[in-house]
Amino acid sequence: MIAGLRVLAQILVCSIIAAAFARPALAQESAAKTYACQGFAEPLQHSPMQVAKGRVLPLRAKLATPGGGYVDDRILKTSPVVSLKFKPESGPEVDRSAGVEVRDYGKGTHFVWDDEAHWKFDLGTKSLPDDEGEYTVSVASGDEKEYKIDPTCSLVFHVRGGGGP
């Protein structure tokens, strides 16, 4: 009887050890999810484009799940952010995200969810210098530990003089 209990105990210990090694690491289980941005909506889906200084760029994006659904503000704790980079004709690229001009939609550098089923951010261009070079605006994760966006949505544009609305 005691010998049988020892064998049973050894089997139980082996089962526990095997289960521990077979189970993915906790860090892998809580890894950030990845969502695909499906491109900016009309009229900003063609890149590169010329933009009159002062024009508002209505950035509208959808983030898709691997299963084909879409991500909204009930799924994400932290909304996506806008990333704005400027690449002069000569010299290194400059991150201009901190100084973005938000117009009707957006909060700081964050996109806002709208019940028309997309994330939106209205990027003003009035304060952007029309230096020679190009701007790239993209959707980025608001919290890389929570989720990643791959591929992202990006638009390359050039600001030229003028004084649009």
CATH code of the domain in which 103 resides: 2.60.40
Residue 9 lies in a domain: no
Calculate Rg over the CA atoms of the chain.
24
CA dist., res. 134 & res. 46, Å (int): 14
Residue 63 lies in a domain: yes
Residue 165 lies in a domain: no
- Domains held by the chain: number: 1
Burial of 137 (0-12, 13-18, 19+ CB in 10 A): buried
Predicted local distance difference test score (pLDDT) of residue 6:
52
Q: pTM of the full predicted structure?
A: 0.77
Q: Are 121 and 57 in contact (CB under 8 A)?
A: no
Q: Which domain holds residue 150?
A: 32-160
CA dist., res. 76 & res. 147, Å (int): 8
Residue 18 lies in a domain: no
Residue 17 lies in a domain: no
Predicted local distance difference test score (pLDDT) of residue 3:
53
Residue 6 lies in a domain: no
Task: Give buried/exposed letters for 2-17 (b at 16+ CB in 10 A, else e).
Answer: eeeeeeeeeeeeeeee
What stretches in the chain show pLDDT beneath 70?
Answer: 1-30, 162-165
Residue 11 lies in a domain: no
Predicted local distance difference test score (pLDDT) of residue 116:
79
Residue 39 lies in a domain: yes
How far does the chain reach from its first CA to its final CA, in angstroms? 89
Could you tell me the sign of the dihedral formed by the alpha carbons of 148, 151, 157, 163, in that order? negative
Closest of 140, 147, 139, 79 to residue 114, by C-alpha:
79
Predicted local distance difference test score (pLDDT) of residue 14:
41
